[in-house]
């Protein structure tokens, strides 16, 4: 526990005040005693005739005490029951109600906040799933499209390859058939140059073709 110096000072001054007050009261009792000394003696000598009885047992004072006690009690009872106590209970009740209503408001606000939080979370998770599904849909669409295009491209490529291959085969055939002629020409020209025989081109081609056949066989 931490006590501030101001609090200590306040406590000290309160204690000092009490001490001074009590001591003053103590001295005042002594003064009262000293002052009343003579009157006391006179009173005892005169009134009570030196009787040592308790003043509380002096029955002659009873009616007066009872009367004024009844008056005091009646006044205090009326005052407390009609005014003071209803006022205090009103204030206390008022405070209790106020505190209760504040607590109720706080509770309501807390519930509202919790509900808002719940709504927000539901919304958020909904948005998240929606976003995920949209995303996957988009990805799928793109993928499908890409595959379709890819397939189209492949088909086209294959067609082109096929076209090229047939072209190539045709060219090759053509080139081969021309080759025979070239070979025959070259052979006839070579025969003419080497041995001086002017070979017939048609004969040369048939020779080449027969060679071809031999080779193929």
Partner 1 sequence: MADPLHQFVIEPIVPLNIGGVDVSFTNSSLWMMASIGVSFVLFNTAMRRKALVPGRLQVLVEMFYQMVSDMVKSTIGPEGRRYFPLIFTIFMLVLMGNLLGLIPYSFTYTSHIIVTAALSFMIFLAVVVIGLARHGVHFLSLFAPAGVPVILYPFLVPIEIISYIARPITHSVRLFANMMAGHIMLKVFAGFSVALITTGAVGVAASAVPVLVNAALIAFELLIALLQAYVFAILACIYLKDTVEIAH
Q: Which residues bind partner 1 (CB under 8 A)?
A: 18-19, 22-23, 25-34, 36-37, 40, 43-44, 54-58, 60-73, 75-77, 79-81, 83-85, 87-92, 94-95, 98
Nearer to partner 1, 6 or 217 (CB): 6
Tokens 């200590």 belong to 8
Nearer to partner 1, 102 or 107 (CB): 102
Nearer to partner 1, 51 or 196 (CB): 51
Nearer to partner 1, 33 or 112 (CB): 33
Q: How far is the CB of 104 from partner 1 (least distance, A)?
A: 17
Q: How far is the CB of 36 from partner 1 (least distance, A)?
A: 6
- Residue 156's alpha-carbon distances to 54, 66, 68, 159, 163, in angstroms, are 137, 130, 128, 5, 10
Q: How far is the CB of 27 from partner 1 (least distance, A)?
A: 6
The dihedral built from the CA positions of residue 208, 211, 216 and 217, taken in this order, carries a sign that is positive
Q: Is 204 exposed, middle or buried (0-12, 13-18, 19+ CB in 10 A)?
A: buried
- Residue 3's alpha-carbon distances to 12, 81, 197, in angstroms, are 13, 42, 141
Q: How far is the CB of 43 from partner 1 (least distance, A)?
A: 7
- Residue 184's alpha-carbon distances to 193, 198, 215, 217, in angstroms, are 14, 12, 16, 20
Who contacts 109 (Cβ-Cβ below 8 Å, separation ≥6)?
none
Q: How far is the CB of 7 from partner 1 (least distance, A)?
A: 16
Nearer to partner 1, 18 or 150 (CB): 18
């Amino acid at each position: 526990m931490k006590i501030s110096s101001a609090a200590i000072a306040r406590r000290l001054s309160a204690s000092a005040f009490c001490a001074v007050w009590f001591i003053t009261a103590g001295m005042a009792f002594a003064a009262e005693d000293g002052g009343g000394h003579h009157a006391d003696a006179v009173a005892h000598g005169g009134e009570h005739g030196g009787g040592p009885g308790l003043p509380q047992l002096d029955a002659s004072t009873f009616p007066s005490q009872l009367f004024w006690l009844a008056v005091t009690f009646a006044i205090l009872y009326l005052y407390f029951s009609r005014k003071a106590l209803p006022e205090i209970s009103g204030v206390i009740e008022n405070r209790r109600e106020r505190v209760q209503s504040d607590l109720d408001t706080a509770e309501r606000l807390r519930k509202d906040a919790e509900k808002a939080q719940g709504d927000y979370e539901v919304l958020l998770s909904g948005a998240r799933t929606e976003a995920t599904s949209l995303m996957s849909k988009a990805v799928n669409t793109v993928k499908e499209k890409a595959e379709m295009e890819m397939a189209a491209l492949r088909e086209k490529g294959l067609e082109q390859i096929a076209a090229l291959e047939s072209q190539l085969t045709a060219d090759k055939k053509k080139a081969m058939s021309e080759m025979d002629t070239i070979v025959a020409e070259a052979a006839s020209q070579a025969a003419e140059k080497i041995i001086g025989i002017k070979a017939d081109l048609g004969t040369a081609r048939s020779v080449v073709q027969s060679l071809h056949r031999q080779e193929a066989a």
